[in-house]
Amino acid sequence: MGKSYGSADGISAEVDEGVLHVVLDAPRRRNALRDDAVAVFIEALAAANSDEEVRAILISGANGQFCAGADIVARNADSGARPRVSSISRRLPEGAHRLIPLLAGIQVPVVAAVQGYAVGLGLQLVLAADFAVVASDATLFEPFSARGMGPDSGATWLLPRAVGPVRAREMLLLGRRLTGEEAADWGLAYRAVPSSEVEAAARQLVGTLAAGPTVALGLSRKLINESWERPLAGQLTGEAFGMEVAARSQDFREGLAAFRERREPRFMGR
């Protein structure tokens, strides 16, 4: 077993062979996340960002499901009374609205292995990852309009950047549901495979990323995610800074040595 990063009802996180494995496991609610599970998720990401052992992250769901979003029904039931006005605006900044920026900003590659439902917050986890390996028959959608709610957890920021504004409106305003195959066709997912192959394909991919030059991959991820907010001149400045930092890494020297010696590099993530 790897090093535990904490657990709660519906979630566990541990590091094994350089990969932080976050497993969502709440079978009776299709792995929907309660507030305490979101808190564990946040703590795990914050710890991983400074853990030298962590070189990649894999998010998956147990029981043939990924994540059916935030468990709002359980939250209201647990309170025992109608929450006071502004409860949503008080909760979100400490929960989903911390989780998604952390996931998008962490400087190691992230892979999502998706089966069954990826809904609401679950879909935003997919969008914030670098690569999503999805089951061809998975179901991905934004549930907000059907429930009379406004979007949250970064849906209106992440989705247009992944699929364009017209398709984002189709999903957010009209409630369009996508299969895994359609999600791959739209560019929302990296690859669609039969459900029985999702776990193996995702593990192979995250293994490849974990064996890569961690510093350079993290800087590339950061630059890609920041590019939406910068003009070209600012992005070029960021690339120059990233090149300077990567050039000081052991993996950079190993990459050059491997090139000279005409062999495959052996990156150590340093």
- Per-residue pLDDT, averaged over 193-222, amounts to 96
Question: Does any domain span residue 267?
Answer: no
> For residues 171 and 121, is the Cβ–Cβ distance under 8 A?
no
The 3-class SS string of 131-169 reads EEEEECCCEEECCCHHHCCCCCCCHHHHHHHHHCHHHHH
Residue-range definition of the domain harbouring residue 223? 214-261
266 lies in some domain: no
Which of 210, 235, 252 delimits the end of a domain?
210
What pLDDT does residue 147 have?
Answer: 87
Count of domains observed in the chain: 2
Model pLDDT, residue 88: 52
Any idea what the CATH number is for the domain that residue 240 is in?
Answer: 1.10.12
Span 28-71, pLDDT tens digits: 999 999 999 999 999 999 999 889 999 999 999 999 999 998 87
Mean pLDDT of the 181-195 span: 97
Contact call for residues 33 and 70 (beta carbons, < 8 A) = yes
pLDDT digits (tens, 9 = 90+) for 247-269: 999 999 999 999 999 999 999 98
pLDDT tens sequence across 75-97:
555 555 665 544 454 454 456 78
